A and B are shown apart, each in its own frame.
Chain A
Amino acid sequence: MLEIISTLEFEPFLLSFKLASITTLILFILCLPLAWYLSQTKSKSKPFLEAITALPIVLPPSVLGFYILFALSQNSPIGIFFDEYFDVKLVFNFPGLVVASCFYSLPFMIQPLQSGFENINKNMLEASYVSGKSKFQTIFKVALPNIKPALMTAIIVTFAHTVGEFGVVLMVGGSIPNETKVASVAIYEMVEIMDYTSAHIYSAIMLIISFLVLLSVYIFNHKQNNKFSGLQK
């Protein structure tokens, strides 16, 4: 058993976690202002924005992957632009995977943040404005510290969801070792070549990590809710 484990390649796992970390970071920075806007706006465009950002939940990964592939390929305007100006190709390589993952995991970052912001007592935000604090200060000093459970959920679930993605990655990235062959793709290939031992070990590792991640989120949120029980009206 030990022998099998020692001969296994762990690059696919490292790649998965690298992809998930970068995607989570990018999405956090992009989604924070967007989630805040969606939580505060009374604009008529809100339902449209919400529907668009939620699309990746309902679309089959292959559809999403197909469109991303189509949009980023070297024959598309976006692909040509990136190739000409930055010398970056966006399909069948790691940067392409990051772009695809950002689309795929977008709702898992936006939705917890938005509902966290929406559940904040509005008077509390207004008390901050009245005290002379800007929106920026209010978001970072008042809003964010009081939605820690939502923040934690958004970051961890986005991370875990990106680690767990398969369809989009396969469509956009293929399976190039050390470049786009992430853990989920590796497992698929192991099953295809009937290497069930490796598939078992890989799957077990994914299962355990996923469970521990979710468990830690729920324990954290449980503790936070007890601490700030006076938060939500």
Chain B
Amino acid sequence: MIKININKKLHGSNGEMDLNIDIEIKDNDFVALAGESGSGKTTLLRILAGLEEVKGTIKIGDKIWLNDKINLPPQKREIGFVFQDYALFPNMSVEENLLFVNKDKKMANHLLNITELTKLKKRLPNTLSGGQKQRVSLCRALMNKPKLLLMDEPLSALDPSMRTKLQNEILTLHKEFGTTTIMVSHDPSEIYRLSNRVLVLNQGKIINDGKPKDVLLRTTGSQKFSFEGELLDIKKVDVIYIAIISIGQQLVEIVVTAEETKNLTIGDIVNVSTKAFNPTITYKKN
């Protein structure tokens, strides 16, 4: 069990704000940390890692990392940290990057095996692709068998197919080692696939906390499906009105009545939902 109760004044891009976090995280949990940029996600991870000064208490099991008297340095916290930009040591080969953390060759070989990096273990980091680098970084973070694994948008710099592959590897590693994990992510499908709890941060405070399904699915009541989008335009065609709405990366047209248009302004964030029929899903591409 990890208990976190901290308070820190941040000078963010949106002016001053209070980072105020009071949560408990169960062992073996995979927690996703979501929220707009500048909401304090990365700062929270850095505070847990001991890389950022803060007031409060952090307790992991019976071990105190932070209170009024104690403030363990990053070296003593037994954590793994995966950075968005990999942060590998360029002067060391893949294998040396792992062994630098812990001289456990067996563990290194095992991790490299799981992540299919065995053949690359003598290579220097700058000869690797982004996906390969991030896998090395992930292995490196696990070399000390950390009590807590922190990942700061680990997959955001990768293309979608590489993301899926690495998500699977993260899942495999999490199943194998059971490391309590906190991951910053913006990608709902990633959060859904990996985590069992989502914390949504806004202006330094947790505004939503629950299972990914409950937090991410935007349907309510008897709705079959529901999408949030931005209303781009309303056009009059003969006697009906057509609203153009941007949902994700796609534009859709929805027929609306003259009555409904009165409540809508262009630029509104709207909910598009239906309950009258069953949507069909057809195969497009893998």
Contacts and interface: CB of A to CB of B under 8 A. Distances in A.
A132 B88 CA distance: 15
Given A124-B89, A129-B75, A130-B74, A230 B140 contact: no
B273 interface: no
B75 A146 contact: no
Nearest to A132: B75
A123 B85 contact: yes
A122 B143 CA distance: 21
The size class of the interface chain A forms with chain B is 20 to 34
A230 B75 contact: no
B75 A133 contact: yes
Interface stretch (B76-84, B177-185, B250-258): B76-84
A229 interface: yes
B144 A131 contact: yes
Interface string A109-137: 00000000000010110111111111000
Given A126-B51, A133-B75, A229 B91 contact: no
B100 interface: yes
Contact of B81 (A126, A145, A230, A233): A126
Contacts of B102: 131
B126 A126 contact: no
B49 interface: yes
20 contacts: A121-B85, A121-B87, A124-B89, A126-B49, A126-B51, A127-B87, A127-B140, A128-B89, A129-B51, A129-B74, A130-B51, A130-B81, A131-B143, A132-B76, A132-B101, A132-B144, A141-B100, A146-B89, A228-B91, A233-B85
Interface of B: 49, 51, 73-81, 83, 85, 87-91, 100-102, 124-126, 140-141, 143-144
Interface of A: 121, 123-124, 126-134, 141-142, 145-146, 227-231, 233
